[in-house]
């Protein structure tokens, strides 16, 4: 695994990244891919809810809310 990959929940609001891998497999990975989070997909962290969960991201021109536990299983690479 590349040391440049970080969990999606470690991004700051406004940061952009590309999905690089998942730390889950099977039905959980399938669920994330059904939401449009496929390897190579650009994402932007929009904001955290007031208590930190859920988080809102922008993926494929729509806003998506994820539980923080789901976001931890998505490894991304930050881009400028």
- Tell me the domains of the chain and their CATH numbers: 5-79 (2.30.30.90)
Across all residues in the chain, what is the average pLDDT?
Answer: 92
Q: Could you tell me what percent of the chain has a pLDDT over 70?
A: 98
pLDDT tens for 22-38 read 998 899 999 999 999 99
Residue 64, pLDDT score: 95
Which residues of the chain are under the pLDDT cut of 70?
A: 1-2
Q: Are 60 and 36 in contact (CB under 8 A)?
A: yes
Residue 67, pLDDT score: 94
Rounded (10°) CA dihedral 51, 52, 53, 59:
140
């Amino acid at each position: 695994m590349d040391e440049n990959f970080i969990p999606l929940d470690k991004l700051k609001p406004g940061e952009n990244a590309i999905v690089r891998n998942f730390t889950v497999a099977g039905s959980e990975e399938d669920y994330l891919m059904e939401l449009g989070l496929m390897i190579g997909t650009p994402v932007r962290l929009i904001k955290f809810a007031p208590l930190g969960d859920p988080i809102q991201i922008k993926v494929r021109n729509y806003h998506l809310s994820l539980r923080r536990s789901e976001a931890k299983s998505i490894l991304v690479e930050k881009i400028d």
